[in-house]
Amino acid sequence: MPEVFRNYINGQWVECASKRTFTNINPADTRETVGHFQASGAADMNAACDAAAAAHAAWAALPAPRRGEYLYKAAELMEAKLDQLGAEMTREEGKTLPEAKGEVKRAINILRYFGGEGARQFSYQIPSERENVFCYTQRKPLGVVGLITPWNFPSAIPAWKMAPALVAGNTVVIKPASLAPLSAYRIVQALDQAGVPAGAVNLVTGSGSEAGNPLVLHPSVRAISFTGSCDVGNSLYDQVAARRIRIQLEMGGKNPTVVLKDADLDYAAGVLINGAFFSTGQKCTACSRAIIEKPVYEALTAKLIQKTRQLKIGNGLNPGIDMGPAVDARQLETDLKYIEIAKQEGAQLLCGGNRLSGREYDHGFYVEPTLFGGVTPEMRIAKEEVFGPVLALMVAEDFEDAMRIANGVRFGLSASIVSRDLTRVHQFLNRIEAGLITVNLPTAGVEYQLPFGGTKESSFGMREQGPMALEFYTETRTVYLKYTQ
């Protein structure tokens, strides 16, 4: 019997008020139910926000290094269950087991990193113009923060929001994505087992509109950190703007890899395959546009077709699988819709393009990794986020043309260049419109100790992860202290 997972409110595992649940299924085999989760509504979310508000003063008063110790303990508990947590993620999200275990390990590293930040919440001591006056800044937590997370990194993203929020002295309420809530549940469970005081962390599952929106509207919530689609993120911004609370939005991308004519083409093909197809292309940082200088376009295209055809698609729990299924029927439909649109707009289908069927494929949401050639900047496949394993190959006349194409979209999350030409690489680094830039590496594959975020319509607000994450979760106060009278 699949387990029924409860909300976590004020230190208790509780059913939602309506007692309704929703089902989390395995996208690789829809006959398998991963678990049932609470279909919460406003009453549940309000209870969680009230509990977080009541717990805040005591949590904020705890010395920051002691708050960090809870994160260390939770990391230890998760590490002891790494294999189980990885397999659960594969079953709820579909990514391959090595990818899932890598992500759980990353969540563990994030907990440890921010555990350490408990002892490193540096501020400034700045000289005063006046005699006998001592001036310094203090970091203060905001209060209750609301965290809304997507399904594609169901452990790392909840971890990279919860850990800095908590260590800075905020109490949190998290609403994970309905397609993959178990991974976030496991982090909250580890924090509970680590002994985090009641109310400091709260988890409420349920749909975005019924459970998520009341979080954004609750008067005690002082900040919202959101990762997900542009449509939802922008609507949340509009809702909180009138209340002047802080908001941080990490949203979509249309990330380019520029390949210059001097590149090692086998190496470049590897970079592109990794960036475009790993995790089924369902990474906000996935590469969806390969912008290739004309002299090497044909040769690189041939290598890409060959390598794409070699990818093994299947249930990510099985060894040797390179790419799992789409996360659900709707994402599969979106992938196939964009493949159709690209064909109709005149792009050349080079390989893939179909839903996979027969054998195990009939029970999951499998689509072939797909390459389109001859894509031009005005085609929708070159401008809109698909969030699936579809790579558009585009010819650039020269470096200037490549830069024009790369920057010609509304997104600006990640971008990469493959080249040994130091001058061109530096020109690219100076001019590319992206928050995450890689050289001779895929567009995806970021590390937890470095700041993360995009520009243009991909992101809004302060950076996540790394030392800058604490900026969002704290505000600075300035103290002037005269030590004589």
Residue 250 a catalytic site member: yes
Q: Is 40 in the site for ligand NAP (CB under 6 A)?
A: no
- Please state the closest distance from residue 131 (CB atom) to ligand NAP, in A: 49
Measured from the Cβ of residue 23, the count of other Cβ atoms closer than 10 Å reads: 12
State which residue, 229 or 427, has the beta carbon closest to ligand NAP.
229
Measured between alpha carbons, how far is 473 from 481 in angstroms, rounded to an integer? 25
One of 99, 250, 368, 385 is an active-site residue; which one?
Answer: 250
Least separation, in Å, of the C-beta of 264 and ligand NAP?
A: 30
CA distance 451 to 430: 18
Least CB distance to ligand NAP at residue 298 (A): 31
- Select the residue whose beta carbon is closest to ligand NAP and give its number: 208
Tell me the closest approach of the beta carbon of residue 11 to ligand NAP, in angstroms: 23
> Minimum CB separation from ligand NAP for residue 435, in Å?
9
Q: Which of 30, 229, 427, 440 binds ligand NAP (CB under 6 A)?
A: 229
Q: How far is the CB of 41 from ligand NAP (least distance, A)?
A: 12
Question: Count residues contacting ligand NAP (CB under 6 A)?
Answer: 31
Interatomic CA distance for residues 452 and 437, integer angstroms: 10
Closer residue to ligand NAP, CB minimum distance, 292 or 382? 382
Rounded to a whole number of angstroms, the CA Rg of the chain reads 23
Other C-beta atoms lying within 10 Å of the C-beta of residue 330: 11
Cβ atoms < 10 Å from Cβ of 342 = 23
CA distance 267 to 307: 12
Cβ distance 368 to 388 under 8 Å?
A: no
The answer to the question of residue 148 lying near ligand NAP (CB under 6 A) is yes
213 in contact with ligand NAP (CB under 6 A):
yes
Query: For residues 190 and 216, which CB has a smaller minimum distance to ligand NAP in the complex?
Result: 216
**Position 184 contacts ligand NAP (CB under 6 A):** no
In the beta sheet, which residues pair with residue 203?
Answer: 8, 174
- The residue within the footprint of ligand NAP, chosen from 94, 164, 212, 324 (CB under 6 A), is 212
x/- letters, 46..85, toward ligand NAP (CB under 6 A): ----------------------------------------
Residues 372-401 that bind ligand NAP (CB under 6 A): 385, 387
According to CB under 6 A, which one of 41, 118, 208, 442 is a site residue for ligand NAP? 208
Window 244-283: residues binding ligand NAP (CB under 6 A): 250-253
Minimal distance in Å, beta carbon 414 to ligand NAP? 9
Choose the binding region for ligand NAP from 62-70, 221-229, 299-307, 375-383 (rule: CB under 6 A): 221-229
Q: Which stretch binds ligand NAP (CB under 6 A): 43-51, 72-80, 204-212, 442-450?
A: 204-212
The two three-digit tokens of residue 396, written as one number: 């650039």
What's the full length of the chain, in residues? 485
Q: CB 307 → ligand NAP: shortest distance, Å?
A: 24
Q: Taking the CA of residue 328 as centre, how many other CA atoms within 13 Å lie in the half-sphere pointing to its CB?
A: 11
Check residue 7 for interaction with ligand NAP (CB under 6 A): no
Q: Which of 284, 293, 385, 433 is catalytic?
A: 284
Nearer to ligand NAP by Cβ, of 143 and 453: the residue is 453
Residues lying near ligand NAP in the complex (CB under 6 A): 148-153, 175, 177-179, 207-209, 212-213, 216, 227-229, 232, 236, 250-253, 284, 385, 387, 413, 454, 458
Question: Hey, which residues are catalytic here?
Answer: 250, 284
